[in-house]
Structure 1
Amino acid sequence: MQYKSHARPRPLPRRTLFLGLAASLLLAPALSSAAPREGMWRASKQERAGKLPANVEWVDSLGGIDQYRLKSNRMTILLKRNDAAPVITFEVVYHVGSRNEAPGNTGSAHLLEHLLFNKSTQNFGHALGHKTFQEVLFAAGCDYASTNMTTWYDRMNGYSTLPADKLELAMKIEADRLGRALILDKERQPEMTVVRNEYEIGENNPSVALYKAVVAAAIQAHPYHWDTIGYRSDIEGVSIETLKQHYKDFFWPDNAEAILVGDFDPVEALRLFDREFGSFPRSPKPIPAVITVEPPQEGERRVVVRRPGQVGLVQIGYMRPNSLDPDFIPLDVLSTILGSGINSRLYQALVEKGLATDANASNYTLRDPFPILFDATVTPGVSHQKVEDAMKAALYDVAKRGITAEELARAKNQLEVSVIRGRDGTYELAASLGEAVASANWKWFVRYVDAMKRVTKADVQRVAAAYLIPDHATVGWFIPARADEKKPQKSAGAGGSVESSASSGQSGASEPVHATFAQRTLRRVLGNGITLDVLANHAVPTVAVHGIVLAGRMHTPPGKPAVAQLTAMMLERGTTARDKRVIAARLDGVGAQIHVLSDVYGATIQANGLSRDAGLLLSILAEEMKTPAFADSELKKAKAEMKTDVLRASDDTRQRAFDRLTQAAFDAGHPYRAPSKEEMLRSLEAARPSDLRAFHKERYVGSSVYLAIVGDVDPESIAATVDSLLGGIPKGSPPAMDLPRTQSVKPVHETIALRGKANMDLMFGEASGLRRRDPDYEACLVANAALGQSSLSSRLGKRVRDTEGLTYSIYSRFTMTDFLDGVWLADIAVAPSNLGKAMKSAREVIEGYCKDGITEEEVAIQKGFFAGNYQVQLATNAGLAQALAVAEKFGYGPAYLDEFPDRVRRVTREQVNAAIRAHLDPAKL
């Protein structure tokens, strides 16, 4: 459960979250004009009426979506069938968010959401002796990636993505949240401290702090003035009576809308919907309305946030109308032109000129007016004023001189393709439709693409002139307050972790599963050693590419840890034949994307686009892999961006703690040992094009490449294309992976002091001795899952978060389990005042678990979780491509995707307890 985060809005954040769904349905003729597939719910109004439950009436249909309503209470449901995988997503959107609050009870909607997410109702939760929502959902295969509740300005929602045969469970859960919550003060108190810790985590982030300040300055009367999480004093002081009244005012079926996407029988789904929700009465009085209208702005407003940090930020906002206003979609196009991609106006004005290391635009879909936001990360050594001036010049130039036809066409293609990609999964479809329902309406959403295509150059210039007005600007600066940080001191202390458990659930785009993955996958090993998997999925007209290159930080020469990441960054910055702007224009013109990322293990290639453009996508990817230019001018910019990332990481409590854990667990020179900030900055400064060329020549070779392609393609044709494009890469030799097993080291306890942080990260960890190909790997997964996989249903989560309320985020993981021994860690986000209690409780849980072992019931629950979660995680093109590439990397091949569930099912309690004894030792934490 969470409120919507605003840290570093990326390009197209609103579309990524919202527009991936029904608007795209207009782009697929098969969903409108072509004959429906067998079994699809396509009938006349009269035929529907004869099959529907008596309490259900059909309302409307558009773009492949059908709307129905319960006659008894006016609650509606939107149905969209997607039977490409045996998965469903069921979501209920409640029309209540932080816009329905007032000073004194800010954050009430979000705190209430926490109580609804996992506290007691009549049929779930410990108050009446039942299992909690999360215990039941976890056993059915749900984790944070596939079930959650969230709150934002306009809405609250609850959703679950589950195997299709669990639809009834999903509906029962949301029905209890809607009408049977107990809302007990004894459950509020520990959850309040959890929410307070969530607030403190946000306060650690300079981007969040600046966003809050800019929005509060831009909006001074309307309830959007405060962030959804609320003020700290209100979080701490809100009474249980206030929360109960909030629930009584807003939680009625006629103030909620349900959404169901996936593999289901419509008549049976409507029967379940009527059974679970039909008995709730309508609201006996009108739902409280928001009547405050934000007064016009009469002059530029400015705000400065000054606190400890490493990197400066500039953000500028201009008020614009709500999402239903005719100007909103032209503003979407304007936002894309200004802030999306290498060829965007802000990138060219700021990043290309060395003033900023990144620049973005955000145009959030909301029910009431809100600022369109533009932000930049200031290059170290550049003044905030210079960045602000350059940003404004780029923004106001659109109003003055307009845009080009090329810019308009590129923006439209980017928007259209992002919509189509959003159809790849039931969760993506449901989430996007839910945001539209909350902030506009579902028909607006379906018609979005057609409306966007009608936008003209004159429209974009007009809205730029109408809204990007100097007197209507709200300017925010984040200025880092420099201070010497204390050196690590020997003591019992705080820590952190790396792997975040937050995620957006995915599901639902792979082919109907009749044949095995091994049978459906075309597998080739090219003459130069490249391992290639191609899997056809004709459900959506897209293609996803996932590549792994054994070219990570662990493979760099001694003393040059920055070389691997710089090399990966430079692959996207021009080739010997074309510069990066020309390449970006080709990709943006068809809405395709190629990204190359780097970590300790290797480089990861992520590419996607429409299947009709697969040839172009692969040809550009091959060009970037084979002939990067490594130009001096581009390397200078890449270094500036990477320096910003290094400085930002050094100010992050979680990253700092994880780095220190690796330094304590592994000896100097070990590939997994994280370099210090100083080591990385020295390597960065010293790196030359010749270093990158040498690393590229040695490591970007065929024997180190694993490539998987999934989508609406012909496998044989794609394989031939890849061979022709990449077959000429030298074979080379894979890197040696022959280090001996890690030896135990003496435990270390440290406090790392970072000034100005409201939250700290406490980490327990040790070298685990576990590698990915070890025979007890699956047993270790089960062992950790019972201890700390979930922040709510694991032993650690139940004690430290759910019972004691000491943290918002707690989890444990076996991580870095690659070709070498990894680590096990437990991470707890905690306020400094709760550090001692959290440490004591977590230690007691870990020690008790290692002493007594896992129970038979826990083993059964974890097996159920992995079996169900498996279906969800492999149900998108991108998810399948990643799983295939990873399986090839470790030598399993496509068959591993079929074998994994059985591997987990065969794990016994004795094997899990043996794994605990082998890999977890509380004395070594």
Structure 2
Amino acid sequence: MKNFLLGTAVLFFTGSINPVFSQKTETPKFVSNTEGIKEYTLSNGMKVLLIPDASQSNMIVNIVYNVGSKHEGYGEKGMAHLLEHMLFKSTKKLGDIKKQLSDKGGNANGTTWYDRTNYYEIFPSSDENLKWSLEMEADRMVNATILQTDLDKEFSVVRNEFEIGENNPGSVLMERIVSTAYLWHNYGNSTIGSKEDIERVKAPTLRKFYEKFYQPDNATLIVAGKFDEKQALNYVTQYFSVIPKPARVLDQPYTVEPAQDGERFVELKRSGESKIVGALYHTAPYADKDYAALDALSEILTSDPSGYLYKAMIDSRKAASVYSYQPTVRDAAFMYFGLEVPADKDIKAVQNDFRTELSKITAIKYTAQDVERAKAKILKQIENTKNNTINLAISLTEIVGAGNYKLSMLYRDNIEKLTLADVQRVSDKYFKDNNRTIGIFIPTKDEVRVKNLEYSDEQIAALTKDYKGKALEKEVAPFESSIKNLKANLTEGKLSNGMKYGIVKKEIKGGKVVGSFRFPVSNANDLKGKSHVGSLMAQVMKTGTKSHTKEQIQDMLDQWKSNVSFGFGGQTLYVNVSTYKENLPKVMGLVKEILTESNFPEAELAKTVNEYNTYLESSLNDPQSIAFTEIEKMTEAYPKESIYYTSSTQEQIDNNKKVKREDLVDFYNKILGSNNGVGSMVGDLDVKTASAMLEQTFGKWNSKSKYEYVKPELFATKKQDKDFITPDKENAAAVGKISFTMDTKSPDYPALLIANEMLGSGGFLTSRIPTRLREKEGISYGAGSYMSVPVINDVASWGWYSFFNPTKKSDVNNALKEEVNKAVKEGFTEDEFKSNLNSWLTSRKTNLGTDGSLMTLVNQQLQYGVPLEDYDALETKVKALKVGQVNEVLKRYISEDKMTSVFAGDFNKK
């Protein structure tokens, strides 16, 4: 924030916490309506984007500041990110931000990247929520307290977040490669920053950074979803227009990374099981036309299964997986390639093979089919983002950071116009060995070097000034997020084979349709010892049918802007569909083909096992993975053949290696079927047509194995702590668990649910466990509690978790157990109960505004007979609770004497 005493008249009255500005209110000035995004400006320099969508039941307020790690100087590394954390502390006017976010429920977050920092809140649509969000964001733009006492606690939380990232070899390798590739530009510095700078920065220094960059002329406010536009502009007038434009001139960083003059190499040696090769090329800014062509080339090179690098490295089994990434940034970007290598491969040999294949990029003769395939995939992603207004508002964060929100539309236009010549051109221009960071320095002469492009603000303004965009789309109908409205728009039915379905008639932006299907199958005997077979089978189902190859299946889905996914767990096959109304018949036809004609190619099974096991190998020594696996193994006693048995990571790897193609085929033919299944779809669908489509897809697909529900067993937990040592890991994890008998119909369920909210899972980091470990003591980045209470059986559990520095194990253990014991012994207060109740109610309303929640509720009604009315009935029961009842139920179920705990980390560290 700018210090207003430096040139702008501001009066702070003694005894008042409200700043009074000399500036009068001003109505935002309308600029344009580009493809449904309405742009306004204020004379203080702030931009406002409104994206109304009546089909939403939620709204989002997202404010983007053009400040990130790029703007940090020496001694300031990580300051932008640290400041992001601090702005969730308190303001002079509104006070404790986290508590208020907690009280109001909904979802909120803040993020920092190279060019920008953003803060957003997602709430159920209401005038009250809109007013509060805008008032709060205006308040913390100018009134953040930034107290040294808060900073003393928060820096250790950020340091803990830094240490979690240090546990990931892939992330650390990428950070090293990026910093080696950028000698002068700040993109070479990681956003989370230097641990030394984080630990040493003082509040006055952080405040100077805040006063410089957190100003209206450096901000873009985005309001999206369902809201009253006129009222939104009134609140912008009331809260933001009165903030004066600062007197200081905010100069943009001017450093341009010089052309790289030779291949660079970096080697990272750390504890871990993963073997990874990375490579980076300097590329173009997001504003440049080349950026779109480079994104397409990235798909052409690494896409599974058609990518040239994919075929060269994965089909040959030299590596397990390959991916590429190009950040959306303001200045010249980079393209990063990552290659995961199985443990039994020679990393040096694979590195040399990869370098050889990368050097071939300029020589490859790409085809028109390559370009069309890449365009289809990228345009599908663009379309899906555009038609999810909440996600669109968040995604615009990166685009605003890159220069202007209209750049996203120009990017889409560039993708649509993309030609084979464009792809070949960027291939020739950027993918030179002397523009690559992977290996050693090789002296050469007469090199044609790649010069990084630079775009001025004036160039971007000229590029976007007269851009009109495509025609505005038809506005969709409103849909109230309530059980009453869900019932009014729900049609249930049954297929000829007994499968139950529900169709929710709801108009979604862009004509989108989503579907969620669950197929319970088989019995304990037929599934004995086959859990890993079912899991692998689901992963390989989409890799080929009698009529189509994996490549053809993926091409069709991309052309149709659709996604289909399969998963198997326990005794249920899960199928999820996301598409558009005009493509729904084709997509469901493909789903039927995959469910009835998959042929499980031998080569695809081998690649899947290779990729999956390489991923598992990377978690063999990961504290979080070990902690959450071992807590289940210690608190359960299922035989290895049971569908509920928890395999260790090594057991999973060994089991996967034993699976043969005939195992998948046998499971697929004998076990799967829809005759005991349920499914729901949401979209603007004709019920009769949709019902016939479901009958055609699932109506004759029956399992040969008799379905009998396999009930889990209750294993009593006991007081027990166990350590697992993970050498040379910078972060540690702890998990605790108590098992007991309960289902969602239990009279104690509502009280224990709200008790868990107050103890560790509710609010915005303001329940007791995260408040103690993160906010007060700063010894854990992530801490809280969780509860698992089923619908169909009564095997329930409660637990806690924490991620922390290994040297803080004793502090974390003591704090966690003290908070649990204090809650059990002394109970919760009336104010605490009321605050968490309101937060819980709001979060449920927010969740009910998502299509996924609607399908989950419908599927529960179809599968388990849980009436939709139970959703409201639970709220009624919770509202009727007294704090004494909650305290009594907590004592009944939660006790340290029943708690089993696991600690995983390098506890030999000093």
What is the CA-CA distance between 1:651 and the residue it aligns to? Answer: 2.5
What is the CA-CA distance between 1:365 and the residue it aligns to? Answer: 0.7
Q: Which residue of 1 aligns with 2:661?
A: 689
What is the CA-CA distance between 1:95 and the residue it aligns to? Answer: 0.9
Check 1:149–1:553 CA distance in 2 against 1; reply closer, same or farther (3 A cut).
Answer: farther
**In 1: Cα distance, 2:840 partner to 2:276 partner:** 42
**In 1: Cα distance, 2:565 partner to 2:109 partner:** 29
Q: Is the 8 A contact 1:336 1:344 kept in 2?
A: yes
Task: Render the CA deviation track for 1:737-758: whole Å, top value 9, x for unaligned.
Answer: 3345x24233221111112210
Aligned residue for 1:342, secondary structure, equals coil
Aligned residue for 1:749, secondary structure, equals strand
**In 2: Cα distance, 1:896 partner to 1:419 partner:** 38
Residue 742 (structure 2) pairs with residue 808 (structure 1): no
Q: How do residues 661-700 of structure 1 correspond to structure 2 at under 5 angstroms?
A: 661-669=631-639, 671-700=643-672
Larger of the two Rg values belongs to structure: 2
**In 1: Cα distance, 2:148 partner to 2:523 partner:** 50
Q: Is the 8 A contact 1:179 1:252 kept in 2?
A: yes
Unaligned stretches of 5+ in structure 1? 1-51, 126-131, 478-507
Q: Among residues 115, 122, 139, which one is paired with 1:154 in the alignment?
A: 115
Check 1:532–1:906 CA distance in 2 against 1; reply closer, same or farther (3 A cut).
Answer: farther
What is the CA-CA distance between 1:162 and the residue it aligns to? Answer: 0.8
**In 2: Cα distance, 1:611 partner to 1:777 partner:** 40
**In 1: Cα distance, 2:241 partner to 2:797 partner:** 50
**In 1: Cα distance, 2:494 partner to 2:877 partner:** 26
Q: How do residues 562-581 of structure 1 correspond to structure 2 at under 5 angstroms?
A: 562-581=532-551
Residue 177 (structure 2) pairs with residue 206 (structure 1): no
**In 2: Cα distance, 1:390 partner to 1:719 partner:** 52
Q: Among residues 55, 66, 76, which one is paired with 1:84 in the alignment?
A: 55
Amino acid at match of 2:612: M
**In 2: Cα distance, 1:189 partner to 1:300 partner:** 42
Q: Is the 8 A contact 1:218 1:371 kept in 2?
A: no
Q: Among residues 585, 591, 597, which one is paired with 1:615 in the alignment?
A: 585
Aligned residue for 1:808, secondary structure, equals strand
Residue 153 (structure 2) pairs with residue 190 (structure 1): yes
Q: Which residue of 2 aligns with 1:873?
A: 847
Q: Which residue of 2 aligns with 1:824?
A: 798
**Identity score, percent:** 27
Q: Among residues 134, 152, 157, which one is paired with 2:98 in the alignment?
A: 134
Q: How do residues 31-180 of structure 1 correspond to structure 2 at under 5 angstroms?
A: 54-71=26-43, 73-117=44-88, 119-125=89-95, 132-142=96-106, 146-165=107-126, 166-180=129-143
Q: Which residue of 1 aligns with 2:612?
A: 642
Q: Is the 8 A contact 1:222 1:292 kept in 2?
A: yes
Aligned residue for 2:70, secondary structure, equals helix
Task: Render the CA deviation track for 1:472-510: whole Å, top value 9, x for unaligned.
Answer: 111279xxxxxxxxxxxxxxxxxxxxxxxxxxxxxx998
Amino acid at match of 2:247: P
Check 1:169–1:727 CA distance in 2 against 1; reply closer, same or farther (3 A cut).
Answer: same
What is the CA-CA distance between 1:376 and the residue it aligns to? Answer: 1.8
Task: Render the CA deviation track for 1:277-315: whole Å, top value 9, x for unaligned.
Answer: 122121221114312111110111111212121221112
Q: Which residue of 2 aligns with 1:841?
A: 815
Check 1:252–1:231 CA distance in 2 against 1; reply closer, same or farther (3 A cut).
Answer: same
Q: Which residue of 1 aligns with 2:739?
A: 767
Q: Is the 8 A contact 1:553 1:562 kept in 2?
A: no
Residue range with higher mean Cα deviation, 150-159 or 809-818:
809-818
Amino acid at match of 2:121: S
Residue 305 (structure 2) pairs with residue 342 (structure 1): yes
**In 2: Cα distance, 1:552 partner to 1:98 partner:** 54
Q: How do residues 276-287 of structure 1 correspond to structure 2 at under 5 angstroms?
A: 276-287=239-250
Q: Among residues 583, 597, 602, which one is paired with 1:627 in the alignment?
A: 597
Q: How do residues 887-906 of structure 1 correspond to structure 2 at under 5 angstroms?
A: 887-892=861-866, 895=869, 901-902=875-876, 904-906=878-880
**In 2: Cα distance, 1:521 partner to 1:422 partner:** 26
Q: Which residue of 1 aligns with 2:285?
A: 322
Aligned residue for 1:305, secondary structure, equals coil
**In 1: Cα distance, 2:583 partner to 2:306 partner:** 20
Check 1:603–1:231 CA distance in 2 against 1; reply closer, same or farther (3 A cut).
Answer: farther
What is the CA-CA distance between 1:814 and the residue it aligns to? Answer: 1.0
TM-score normalised according to structure 2 size = 0.87
**In 2: Cα distance, 1:892 partner to 1:613 partner:** 32
Q: Is the 8 A contact 1:320 1:369 kept in 2?
A: yes
What is the CA-CA distance between 1:388 and the residue it aligns to? Answer: 3.9
Q: Is the 8 A contact 2:523 2:707 kept in 1?
A: no
Amino acid at match of 1:140: K
Amino acid at match of 1:523: E
Q: Which residue of 2 aligns with 1:499?
A: none
Residue range with higher mean Cα deviation, 551-560 or 369-378:
551-560
Q: How do residues 280-429 of structure 1 correspond to structure 2 at under 5 angstroms?
A: 280-392=243-355, 395-429=358-392
Q: Is the 8 A contact 1:543 1:608 kept in 2?
A: yes
Task: Render the CA deviation track for 1:63-97: whole Å, top value 9, x for unaligned.
Answer: 111111223x1212111111113321011111111
Q: Which residue of 2 aligns with 1:782?
A: 754
**In 2: Cα distance, 1:678 partner to 1:228 partner:** 34
Check 1:367–1:853 CA distance in 2 against 1; reply closer, same or farther (3 A cut).
Answer: same
Q: Which residue of 2 aligns with 1:16?
A: none
Amino acid at match of 2:149: K
Aligned residue for 2:60, secondary structure, equals strand
Q: Is the 8 A contact 1:112 1:243 kept in 2?
A: yes
Residue range with higher mean Cα deviation, 778-787 or 804-813:
778-787
Q: Which residue of 1 aligns with 2:20?
A: none
Aligned residue for 1:522, secondary structure, equals strand
Q: Which residue of 2 aligns with 1:658?
A: 628
Amino acid at match of 2:67: V
What is the CA-CA distance between 1:923 and the residue it aligns to? Answer: 1.5
**In 2: Cα distance, 1:913 partner to 1:412 partner:** 58
What is the CA-CA distance between 1:689 and the residue it aligns to? Answer: 3.0
Q: Which residue of 2 aligns with 1:46?
A: none
What is the CA-CA distance between 1:858 and the residue it aligns to? Answer: 3.1
What is the CA-CA distance between 1:393 and the residue it aligns to? Answer: 5.3
Check 1:261–1:567 CA distance in 2 against 1; reply closer, same or farther (3 A cut).
Answer: same
What is the CA-CA distance between 1:883 and the residue it aligns to? Answer: 4.5
**In 2: Cα distance, 1:398 partner to 1:254 partner:** 43
Residue 494 (structure 2) pairs with residue 525 (structure 1): yes
Q: Is the 8 A contact 1:84 1:539 kept in 2?
A: yes
TM-score normalised according to structure 1 size = 0.85
Residue range with higher mean Cα deviation, 132-141 or 223-232:
132-141
Check 1:554–1:320 CA distance in 2 against 1; reply closer, same or farther (3 A cut).
Answer: farther
What is the CA-CA distance between 1:567 and the residue it aligns to? Answer: 1.6
Check 1:924–1:716 CA distance in 2 against 1; reply closer, same or farther (3 A cut).
Answer: same
**In 1: Cα distance, 2:741 partner to 2:349 partner:** 51
**In 2: Cα distance, 1:554 partner to 1:346 partner:** 43
**In 1: Cα distance, 2:663 partner to 2:112 partner:** 48
Task: Render the CA deviation track for 1:328-353: whole Å, top value 9, x for unaligned.
Answer: 11112212222344323333332222
Residue range with higher mean Cα deviation, 782-791 or 53-62:
53-62
Check 1:698–1:262 CA distance in 2 against 1; reply closer, same or farther (3 A cut).
Answer: same
**In 1: Cα distance, 2:350 partner to 2:862 partner:** 46
What is the CA-CA distance between 1:688 and the residue it aligns to? Answer: 2.5
Number of corresponding residues: 832
Amino acid at match of 1:618: M
**In 2: Cα distance, 1:730 partner to 1:307 partner:** 51
**In 2: Cα distance, 1:704 partner to 1:653 partner:** 39
